[in-house]
Structure 1
C-alpha cells in the first residue's frame, strides 16, 4: 500500500511539472510567488498592475521583463524585451535573432502565423530600407501563436504568444529590439478589471 501511495504521489508531482511556464512564471502567481521566482527580489511596481522583474529563469537575449499581476487574478500577462541588436540596413542581424527564437517556440507551442508586411504608402519599400521602414512604423514583423481551448491546460493556461521587432524611436535605424508577450486565460478578466476603473 505504501509503495502504491509513493508511486501515485510521484506521478502527481510529475504531472504538475510537465509544463514549465515562460521564464519560470505561471498563471495566477501572487506577488510573493513571483518574487520567489526572481530569487527573492520583490517586483518593482510600474503602474496599472504592471511590475518590472528579473526572473531567475531568464533568456540571455532578454534583459527587461514586465508582468501584469492583480489581486483578483494573480499573474495574467508577461512581456520580455531584448537588449538592442545592432543591425545593417536590411535588418539581417535582427532577423537572425528572431529566427533563433522561432525554432524553440515552434517546438513547444506548435505552428505560428508570421507577418512580414509593409504599408503600401511607405517610401521605404525596397529591402535595403528594411530598418528604416521598421523604425517609422510602416513595417510589421511578428509571429503569433493561438492556443486552442483543448490545449489551455497543457500549456498552463496560456492562450496567446506573440513575438515581434521594434526600434526605440523613429530616428533609430541601426538598432532594434525583440519583444515577446504571453497572455494567459485570466488576462481577459485582468484587463477588464483595469478598464472598469476608467
Structure 2
C-alpha cells in the first residue's frame, strides 16, 4: 500500500515538474514556440507581432500581451503592457510599480542597467511634468538586462527591457519586452519580406 502511495506521489511530482518546465519561459512562452500553440486574437498581425488572448502564466501587473512570431523560427519576442496609471502627472504611481517589477526581475535574472535621463533643455523639466516629459520622448525611464550587464539570462532570452511610456500629461504605462536569441533571425526575415515588396 505504501509503495502505491509513493509511486502515485512521485508521478504527481513528475507531472508538475514537466508542466513547469513546459512553461519555463516568460509568461510561460518559449523561444521558437509555434503560432498554433498560442491563443492569438483573430486579427491580422502587425509585421509578425500578434496580440494574445491570454498567456499560460499571467502577471498581475500586466494586462496586454503580444508575441512576435516568425514563420521559420517561431516566437522570437514577447511583450507585455501594464494597466494604465491615470491622474499621475508626477509619475509617482508608475515609478513605484516600475521599481517593484525591477526587484522581481532582479530576483530571477540578476542585475540590469538603468537608462534614466532627461534631455538637456527640455521644456518638460518640472516635477509636475514628469509623465509629459516621457510622453514627449524627452525623458527616458527604463532598465535593461543582458549578459553584457552581468545579468543571469536563461530560457533562450538574450535581452529584457522594462520601460515607462506616457500617453499625455498624466497617463502612463509600463512595457516589458523579452527578446530571445533567435530575434536577429526574425529581424532578418522581416527585412527580406519588406524588401521583396518593392
* TM-score, structure 2 as length reference: 0.80
Equivalent residue, structure 2, for 1:117: 117
Contact map agreement 1:91 1:131 (CA 8 A) in 2: yes
Where in structure 2 are there 5+ consecutive unaligned residues? 1-9
Counterpart of 1:29 in structure 2 is 33
Equivalent residue for 1:3?
none
Q: Alpha-carbon deviation of 1:132?
A: 2.0
- The aligned counterpart of 2:3 is none
Residue 189 of structure 2 corresponds to residue 193 of structure 1: yes
**Structural RMSD (CA):** 2.8
Query: Do structure 1's residue 156 and structure 2's residue 155 form an aligned pair?
Result: yes
Offset at residue 147 of structure 1 (A):
3.1
Q: Distance in 2 between matches of 1:151 and 1:180?
A: 16
- Note if contact 2:132-2:166 (Cα within 8 Å) is conserved in structure 1: no
Deviation readout 1:73-131 (Å, 9 max, x if unpaired): 01100111112112433210110111110111001011011121010021122323212
Does the 8 A contact of 1:164 with 1:179 survive in 2?
A: yes
* CA distance in 2: counterparts of 1:195 and 1:80, whole angstroms: 24
Q: How many residues align?
A: 180
C-alpha separation between the residues in 1 aligned to 2:129 and 2:160? 28
Q: TM-score, normalised by structure 1?
A: 0.80
